Every structure is written in C-alpha cells, then in structure tokens.
Amino acid sequence: MSFSRVETSRGELRIRESLDDLSTDLVEYISQLSEASVKERGVFTIALSGGSLIGLLGYLCFSFQQSMPFAFELFLRPNSLVKLCETPYIKTIDWTNWYIFWVDERVVAKSHADSNYKLAKDGLLTKVNTSTLHLFQLFAEKQTVLGGSIENSTPLKVLNLVPLQSKIMPSCSFGCLVPVIPSHVHSSNDSVSAEEAASEYEFGIRQLVRTRVISVSDISDCPKFDLILLGMGPDGHVASLFPNHSALDVKDEWVTFITDAPKPPPERITFTMPVINSASTVAMVVTGGTKAEAVHLAIDDVDVGLNPSSLPARMVLPTNGKLVWFLDREAASKLNGVEFSE
C-alpha cells in the first residue's frame, strides 16, 4: 500500500507507508490550506501541538530550500521561467501572513527541553527564517555582481517574496529579515503560574478574535482557527487533555490549565475541547505502532465503554469543520478494513 485515502464518519484518513511520505503529504496539505486562507482572509491562523508532530513539519523548511536552486536557474536563465512555475517549485508559503499559536504548552521556561514553544522554534521557525535569510543573501550577492537591484529580482517575484521584502525589509537590511513575523508568534507567558498563563493566553486570543485576525465560530463564540494540528499519545490524549481528566469537561473557557498531567511535566495549559472542535480544520497526526490501538478505538466503530472521556481523541470532531487523520502504516495497522499489501 503506497497511499490510501478514505472518508469515514470520523473524518478523512490519509495513510502513508513511510514517515517521509507522510511528512510530504502533511506539508502539502498545510500549504494548500494556508494558500486558500490567505487568499480568502489575508491570514492563516495555525495552532501547533508539541511532541513528534514537529519533526514531521521539517519538510516545510526543506521544500522551501529545495526551490532555491531553481530560483537561481531562473535568475541566470530567465527563459527557464516555465519550469520554475511548475509544481513543486512554485510551492512556497506566505509565512508573513501566518499567525502561530500553541494548542498546549508545558509550564516550564521557554528555554527548557520540555517546552512546546522551544520545540517548534528550534524545529521549524528558526529553520524557516534561516532558509529565507540565505535566499535573500544569495540573491543580493548575485545582483551586486551583475549590477542589478534586488528589488526587481525575478526570482523574488516568482517565489512570491516581493511582498515579504517590502513588508519587513524595505531597506534591504538582512539583519531583520524573518519571514515568520515575531509579533505573529503567540506563545504563552513562561514566568507566571499555570492558571495565570492560561488566562493570559486566552485574553490574547480574545483580542485577536475581536480584531478578526482569528475568525469566530458560526455557532458559538469560540475562536475558529484555520488549522489545529494535534498529535495523540498512546493513551489517546490530545493537546494536554488526558483521559478522564476534568479539563475535558471545561466548556466556558478557551484555554484551561492542569497541574496533575499523568505525563510529565505535570503543569500545563491547553485549548479546551470546544475550541478544538470549532476549528475549520483539525489534522490529527499520529505515527508509530504504540498508538495503533488508540487509533483503532478513536476511529473505528467500536464501543469504547461508558465514558467518552476515556479516549479524548475520540471526542475530537469539529462541529462545522473538517477532521483529517495523517497516519503512517504502523499507526493504522489495527484499523478495521484497511488492507496492507506487502
């Protein structure tokens, strides 16, 4: 089985043979959502989880770097334009219009190895910024040699970087060149208690809903993120919503806190289930055989027992949005009716 895509009552299943294929598919999916959202509303609001998910997003940076050599080819031989405009080379992401949030955060310093912010910063945000910085530096060097001006550089236009350039580096000062705009990165306060961090984080989100950076749900007052990316633990927890925990019952808050997570560290803040289920799209990204049983219980038509909160992942079902599962072969191995060829 190389790739299987199945519609179920528990969302769309996208099952890939290898982690590489899964990562490519996930990144392609995110860039399509980002493009559609930026076209429609001018922004893309994405909430990240921590854990193994972040490693799978690395291709977001790679696909960007991959386009660079072709940009150079175009720069030196303008008639290669057609080739560069073909996918996947034109597939770039409008990072400046991304607004980034965290679905959950561990209450530790931002520099701590357990911090979900640090994980995404090191594994994604810094890499994106470094790639772009290199791209601009290389173009600028070439332009100087050829006596041109970087402002009119065709590669920048083709790679859709001209708006970025005028927005954040009108003076061509590379020092401040970062495509992911720092003020669009909304992480929680790491110097206060879990309770305060949750309420501050919710307050910040409320401001952005008020100014319509984040949309509002059509059926409640909840924020409607364009995309919420969720991982899942082997126990079926999502975000920092653990099985049978009272945080699963919180309905009147957007962000809550816990001090007794069964998985360390114990203190965490997390989006509540109503916020998760108000997103336009929720992507559940699950890999590895240790999660196969939870995947089966969360997706298949089975009786999970009396209490739905025994499996938080099964409670994820956007009310007015889309649920998509990105699974590798191992994670999908216990699903009913999915056949794998050798």
- Positions in the binding site for ligand LXAUTJHC (CB under 6 A): 49-53, 104, 116, 231, 233, 239-240, 263
Give min distance, CB of 233 to ligand LXAUTJHC, in A.
5
Q: Which residue, judged by CB position, is nearest to ligand LXAUTJHC in the bound state?
A: 51
Nearer to ligand LXAUTJHC among residue 180 and residue 269 (C-beta) = 269
How many C-beta atoms surround the C-beta of residue 189 within 10 A?
17
Nearer to ligand LXAUTJHC among residue 104 and residue 202 (C-beta) = 104
48, 62, 32, 55: which is closest to 130 by C-alpha? 62
Nearer to ligand LXAUTJHC among residue 184 and residue 237 (C-beta) = 237
Q: Within 98-125, where are the H helices?
A: 116-120
How many C-beta atoms surround the C-beta of residue 310 within 10 A?
16
Give min distance, CB of 106 to ligand LXAUTJHC, in A.
6
Give min distance, CB of 160 to ligand LXAUTJHC, in A.
31
CA distances from 31 to 15, 35, 210 (A): 19, 6, 26
Give min distance, CB of 103 to ligand LXAUTJHC, in A.
6
Nearer to ligand LXAUTJHC among residue 98 and residue 102 (C-beta) = 102
Nearer to ligand LXAUTJHC among residue 43 and residue 247 (C-beta) = 247
d(CA 315, CA 280): 16
Give min distance, CB of 248 to ligand LXAUTJHC, in A.
15
Q: Exposure string (b/e) for 206-226, b if CB count within 10 Å is 16 or more?
A: eebbeeebbbebeeeebbbbb
Contacts of 19 (CB under 8 A, 6+ apart): 56, 287, 328
